[in-house]
Structure 1
Amino acid sequence: MLETDQVFAGSIPENYDRYMVPLIFEPFAADISRRAASLSPSAVLETAAGTGVVTRALAPKLSPNASYVVTDFNQPMLDYAASRQAADSRIDWLQADALALPFEDRTFDLVCCQFGAMFFPDRLSAYREAKRVLKPEGHFLFNVWDRIEENVFADDVTNALAEVFPNDPPRFLARTPHGYHDTALIRRELEDAGFAQVAIETRAEQSQASSPRIPAVAYCQGTVLRTEIEARDPGKLDAATDYVAAAIARRHGDGAVSAKIQAHVIMATA
């Protein structure tokens, strides 16, 4: 992972929430919030909250007396998440690094994280921090994307951009969001961090959009892929997005489109 893979700034947070969230994140947010609520936690920490899709899904499911601390490394993403959340006295918003959490030991019943572990520069440190702040027998619940070939639109976008930039294809999607899919490695790192039990489930959903342009704009302008495109040619963002949209249309049709998305859901017990 490159250092720039962590920088979600400028117009990326708004485009991310407008396009990426309904395209690929909402189905898994509904799943992870259901799993989290089933544990009946009274003190919840969310790391790498992004624009708050899990927060919006989970908060209504928590008890009236629960406390919910929502964090992200990127202040622009956290600010956007807070702006989208209904007023809720149970929620505290805090910029925080998952590798160095500013909380006392044994504070939370649940630490949850949706599609954030792939961005951690030192996952073992992040996992140790999650375990440190969990109460005994607390749970660390998170998910990561499966390999890019199991996530069709992401693969389509990556292949199309390789045609736009054949000498230097943007590889952000394959490198980082879809670069941490080895379940044996995930299990080993969690066990090395001290978790006693690790359960991993692979789950498929459908990504749906009203037109091929939606996934093209979502990936090209709502993720760090935008930064990679503009680094190669500052004036080519719109043309690259158009090319990707046409490639998706050729494969999936000109109208409403749908394709498989797949992720691993992990529950580790402290």
Structure 2
Amino acid sequence: MEQHLEQIREQQKQSWNKFSGGWKKWDELVMDFLKPMGDEIIRSLNPQHNDLILDVASGTGEPALSIAEKLSGGKVIMTDLAHDMLVIAQENAAARGIKNIETVTSDVCDLPFHDNTFDAISCRFGFMFFPDMLLAAKEMVRVLKPGGRMATAVWNVPEKNFWVTATMGTISRNMELPVPPPGSPGMFRCAKDGFISDLFLQAGLKNISQVEVAGKLNCKTVDTYWGMQTEVAAPIVAALANASDVMKEKIKTETYAVVNEKFPDGNIIIDSSALVIYGEK
């Protein structure tokens, strides 16, 4: 991997390990929010009882744990760049009595598995953060058995994801953020229609399909929304870290106003949109 991509990978490893505490705190809210996308991945993969399944960018454990519950004789191996996130995934598995899982800290671009190992691969909201997405896709296809299934979820366009743009838009209006180089990791990097489908095709997959999946971030209150965003969303945390106390308060006040304007009844349930892409080897 090129040096600048290795630097991005190391920055991400540090970032995700750093934010693992926030993810643990907000896990119930976030996992409820992301469940429809995980459910669609599971539906498209159609796990069979004895399957060996790889989950990439597992984070705190979903959809890997839900897949594992469907396997009577199979197993799920969860991988993530951030070891601290996988520790939380192990805790979540233990709390649910799920034993047919294993965690492996690894880089998706250098998976420590033999060719043709897995029956299926899931990856929920990982691709947008991979420094080299095509290399990652090819590596996942390498470890997939012939005839194996692969599915991923990525965020749809900003216009359909107010839960992100409410805060990031306010930050952008108030701060001059550095413009990342084209193709840099980011929330909406994979949002273009057909982008991941083309990537899957280049990586050697066939029978590719794409569906849009809606979700709802059920914050209930604007305080909960702001708390979650500022402890879980890495781009938001990074931007606010460079803001003065006065600027932070201004951004908070304006974000509250934008959200309250959209939800005047005070019941903050924000729509989202993602794309789930499926392919076969």
Of 208, 225, 235, the residue aligned with 2:235 is 225
Alignment of 1:68-83 (within 5 A): 68-83=76-91
Q: Which residue of 2 aligns with 1:253?
A: 264
Cα distance 1:175–1:71, how it changes in 2: closer, same or farther (>3 A)? closer
Q: Secondary structure at the match of 1:94?
A: strand
1:13 aligns with 2:20: yes
Alignment of 1:78-227 (within 5 A): 78-86=86-94, 87-163=97-173, 165-168=174-177, 176-227=186-237
Cα distance 1:96–1:5, how it changes in 2: closer, same or farther (>3 A)? closer
Whether contact under 8 Å (2:106, 2:112) holds in the other structure is yes
Aligned-partner Cα distance in 1 for 2:204–2:39: 28
Cα distance 1:198–1:146, how it changes in 2: closer, same or farther (>3 A)? same
The count of residues paired between Structure 1 and Structure 2 equals 265
Aligned-partner Cα distance in 1 for 2:109–2:125: 15
CA displacement at 1:235 relative to structure 2:
4.8
Q: Which residue of 1 aligns with 2:45?
A: 36
Q: Which residue of 2 aligns with 1:50?
A: 59
CA displacement at 1:185 relative to structure 2:
2.5
CA displacement at 1:243 relative to structure 2:
4.4
> 1:138 corresponds to which letter in structure 2?
G
Please list the CA deviations of residues 176-209 of structure 1 after superposition, one character each: whole Å capped at 9, or x if unmatched. Answer: 1222112333222211111122111112222222
TM-score, normalised via structure 1 length: 0.87
CA displacement at 1:24 relative to structure 2:
2.9
Whether contact under 8 Å (1:37, 1:62) holds in the other structure is no
Q: Unaligned regions of 5+ residues in structure 2, if any?
A: none
> 1:269 corresponds to which letter in structure 2?
E
Cα distance 1:27–1:245, how it changes in 2: closer, same or farther (>3 A)? farther
Over the aligned positions, Cα root-mean-square deviation in angstroms equals: 2.7
Q: Unaligned regions of 5+ residues in structure 1, if any?
A: none
